[in-house]
Amino acid sequence: MKKLLSSRPALWFLFLFNLCVAAVAPFAIEGSQGVMTAVGMGVVSLGAGVSLIRDRDRGGKAVTR
């Protein structure tokens, strides 16, 4: 399961889907539940985005000195 969740397509899906849900949740769900849903989805989206950036940095050629 870890290999599947760390694949680039899965990370892109998690990033974009959770970002969209985080943007819409406060308007679709009223009150504190909508705000907390947005915060939770935003955290998951940020985690996936950070993983995408880290993988991009590792994917390049290593610079040797």
* Nearest by Cα to 16 from 41, 53, 33, 36: 41
State the Cα–Cα distance between residues 49 and 22, nearest whole angstrom. 14
| DSSP 3-state of 36 | helix
State the Cα–Cα distance between residues 47 and 4, nearest whole angstrom. 16
59: pLDDT confidence band, cut at 50, 70 and 90? low
- Quick check: 51 pLDDT over 70? yes
pTM: 0.76
How far from the centroid of its chain's Cα atoms is residue 25's Cα? 16
How high is the mean pLDDT of the chain?
Answer: 87
State the Cα–Cα distance between residues 32 and 12, nearest whole angstrom. 28
